[in-house]
Copies of this chain bind each other. A is one copy, B any other.
Amino acid sequence: MPQEKLAREKVLRDPIHNFIHVQDQVILDLINTTEFQRLRRIKQLGITSAVFHGAEHSRFEHSVGAYELARRITDYFEKYYPSKTANDGLWDTSQRLVTLVAALLHDVGHGAFSHTFEHLFQTNHEWYTQEIITGDTEIHTILAQVSPDFPNKVASVIAKTYTNPQVIQLISSQLDVDRMDYLLRDAYFTGTKYGEFDIDRILRTMRPVKNGIAFDIGGMHAVEDYVVSRYQMYLQVYFHPVSRGMEVLLEHLLHRARELYKQAQKNDIEDQQFIGPLLKPLFDEKLTLSDYLNLDDNVFMTYILIWRHHPDPILSDLCCRFLDRKPLKSVIMDNETIPVREKLTKLVEKAGYNPIYYTAQNDAYDLPYDDYNPTSAKPRTQIDFLLADGSHQELSQLSTLVAAIKGKASIDQRFFFPKDMLKENGNDLFSETAEHFRSFIHNNALKDPNTSV
């Protein structure tokens, strides 16, 4: 029987939670599927390790980490807040397994370099997550053994359409197992301290309420610290301009490869072989689920290695830059300076670079926290506190810090260009060009806190 508990729990050693406790046969079986093991081959932070060299950690470990948090929370709810009657707003203990499974699988559809990939190839990792859960996969087989409707239940949690709002909020809200795990984990592996917060206190003050999850007022400062930590991680790590300079290279080189492949197809020349069997379905825009599951970080990295010797000078150059960590440089743009972008692009072109492949506008964006807008179609994800009289209060009403960032997007807009544009070289044919370029960049870079130190 797949719902059975293991006679003795198994543990995985984890640097963040020390141990991941696996107590159910289903969880163990899901971890052992080919689709889940594939997450070991996809980095959690994509190319970020080009800046923070410790950040080589995989989506596999984040997924089991999110599961572990869900396990701790559901154990805690089961002990302290078990529902006794329908609609008492407490924890329905029969929701345990669907919660654990949804936490474990919430990212299972992620592909290599998701951000870049999805943008370029118009795919969507959430769609793949749904497919993996409900389609012809080992994961689906295991889930269906729990009960015929179990796969759809799990899928609906991830789609946020599940009937129990507590379960949905645990898996996806502004304070969910996903965010809690990735902040702690990314802080640990990057070696930054901004992502640390008091996870134990947050978990202790979490509680089920009607329509979702709330926190005891005693957890307010810990929750505030979590929101602030997340805000800082975005500005310091996730928005880092050097990672984005690498991402831009990756996007451009894949773009270039696709162009070359299309051209080769049109001319029916043999050269279309360079694309390789694994990437072919992607470039042909005929990607089946099975093809998708065959793509991981290694595959992209390997073809980039092969393409560095491709006869096309642009493709090979972009591949070399990517492999040898020569990111495009960037300058912050704001509403004032954005009009200059066109002029800068022309200067880059004048200097001999094809601006399609050697410049980019790349905008990083995050909404650090927002309260619930009843007129919005989006589900409620705000963080609420339970006061002693049973009433609720929303986080930004209690915290000055959170109020300051509520509803305000963090935005970091940058224009990317080849580093050579900044070289000072008296003999340079383009010295004048470069000089114009440099002086603009120089003036605009003054205040950039992401300057290396």
Which A residues lie at the B interface, using CB under 8 A? 8, 10-16, 18-19, 32-34, 37-38, 40-41, 43, 49-54, 56-58, 60-61, 64, 80, 188-194, 196-198, 200-201, 204-205, 216-221, 224-225, 228, 231-232, 235-236, 277-278, 294, 296-299, 301-302, 305-306, 320, 323-326, 387-389, 391, 393, 398, 400-401, 403-405, 408, 442-443, 445-453
Contact = CB atoms under 8 A, between A and B. Distances in A.
A77 B305 CA distance: 42
Nearest to A80: B8
B204 A197 contact: no
Nearest to A302: B302
A301 B201 CA distance: 33
A387 to B, nearest CB: 4
A218 B450 contact: yes
A186 B391 CA distance: 34
A142 to B, nearest CB: 14
Contact of A196 (B53, B196, B232): B196
18 contacts: A8-B80, A13-B192, A14-B191, A34-B320, A38-B323, A41-B301, A43-B56, A53-B58, A53-B64, A193-B198, A193-B225, A216-B453, A217-B446, A221-B235, A294-B305, A389-B443, A391-B446, A401-B405
A400 B408 contact: yes
Nearest to A304: B298
Contacts of A232: 221, 224-225
A32 B324 contact: yes
A445 B64 CA distance: 29
Contact of A451 (B197, B218, B398): B218
B221 A11 contact: no
A6 to B, nearest CB: 12
A68 B392 CA distance: 33
Contacts of A400: 404-405, 408
Give the residue among A80, A205, A221 with the most B Cβ atoms within 10 A.
A221
A273 to B, nearest CB: 10
A222 to B, nearest CB: 9
A318 to B, nearest CB: 14
Contact of A325 (B32, B218, B296, B401): B32
A257 B445 CA distance: 53
Contacts of A43: 56
